[in-house]
Amino acid sequence: MKFALLCNPENRRADYFIRAHESLLGCAPHVISWEDYLAGMESPPDLPLRIESPGENPVVREALIRLGAELRGAIDLQISRAHGVIEHEALFFDGFKSSLERLESLVECFVNTPASIIAMTDKMRAHAVLEAAGLPHVPLLSTVSTWEELSALLHEHGRVFVKPQYGSSASGVIALRARSRRFEATTSIELTEKHLFNSLKVRTYTDEREIGEIINRLGDPHDGVGKLLVEFWIPKDVFAGRGWDLRVLAITERPPAHVVVRTSTNPMTNLHLGNQRGDLAFVQGRLGPQRWAQTMDFARQAVKAFEASYTGLDIAWDAGLRRPLIIEANAFGDLLPGILNDQGQDTYHATLESFTKVGAQAHHGVTR
């Protein structure tokens, strides 16, 4: 077999897959850049297609935003190419979704289908998929678009997590607390006069005016991310003063074998925010065989629920180790450098080998 890869070729994700393809199949994949595909310069060949994240490329980001704006009839759109800027995320998703749906008319076989990628990227759909499958996940309290709506909920519930309907890597995520008449918003968002930025620094805002401005900008359906999901804040299990959760790569028809423990002293456990990897053997011992098996079983059920070949799942145990909860499903959640399975395979080798062994036509959920 030979695969096609839709990607940003300069990105390390592409490099990891290309090396896995060359190692397992003895040849390079057919590489198509997101930029060329969106410009109409190249269409995928008649090969199984792996779709990689369009992120981290300002030209591709702008092209997807403009495509989304065209679909909504928007004109005279000002788009910043500043690194990490958070703007027009709803338009970006509209363009991304449209570009994926177009692929369905061009390609017969996908590693992960456009439908599964869309379902994992749209957090509202992801909630619905997990709910329909009866899988434990962080409960959704409501959706809001303004600080006025959110502050009313916050006064009632005390603390919540706020997440953009679309996004990844903790971009736009806020842990919010109401304490007496004060508010605390912990987030990686940097507020400037003109823009919001997704930074590498977690900070806490206590000025209600600033918090309200962040929420109102995020909730703007044109300039921001649109709907904001308000989730119940479920306290995570803590050891040695650090909360923790797991990133689990679930590959269909295989026991999960790539797991990373993420630990943090703040509500955000994403490793790119300066947090630390934890000791996997310690966590396995802390949970015990039964809880660990239960966690891995939920991961296997989740990848089937999304009808995907693979997904990166964020899973946490609550305080007291009473129940595991799926926090998020990540369509591009297999970027786990240095994490190998028992056969010494990284995540890209394992997902590719799984697809080739099972066979494109027989593989669950990968053909349209």
- Chunked into runs of 10 residues, the chain (368 residues) has average pLDDT values of 96 98 97 97 94 96 95 86 92 96 95 97 97 97 96 92 89 92 94 94 96 95 86 95 97 95 95 94 97 97 97 97 96 96 96 81 44
* 3, 363 contact by CB (below 8 A): no
pLDDT value, residue 283:
97
**C-alpha 62 chain-centroid distance:** 20
Q: Are residues 70 and 148 in the same domain?
A: no
The domain that holds 314 is classified in CATH as: 3.30.470.20
In the listed set 168, 197, 232, which residue is the last one of a domain according to the structure?
A: 232
On whether residue 184 sits in a domain, the answer given is yes
Q: Are residues 227 and 253 in the same domain?
A: no
Q: Are residues 177 and 207 in the same domain?
A: yes
Q: Are residues 304 and 333 in the same domain?
A: yes
Question: Which residues does residue 311 pair with via DSSP β-bridges, in sequence order?
Answer: 250
Residue 96 is given by DSSP the state H
Q: Are residues 81 and 168 in the same domain?
A: no
Q: Are residues 212 and 201 in the same domain?
A: yes
Q: Are residues 219 and 250 in the same domain?
A: no
d(CA 310, CA 366): 10
Domain span holding position 295 = 235-358
d(CA 137, CA 229): 14
pLDDT value, residue 359:
53
On whether residue 131 sits in a domain, the answer given is no
Structural domain total, the chain: 3
Name, in order, each residue with C-beta under 8 angstroms of 32's C-beta and a sequence gap of 6 or more: 4, 5, 6, 7, 42, 43, 44
Q: Are residues 11 and 46 in the same domain?
A: yes
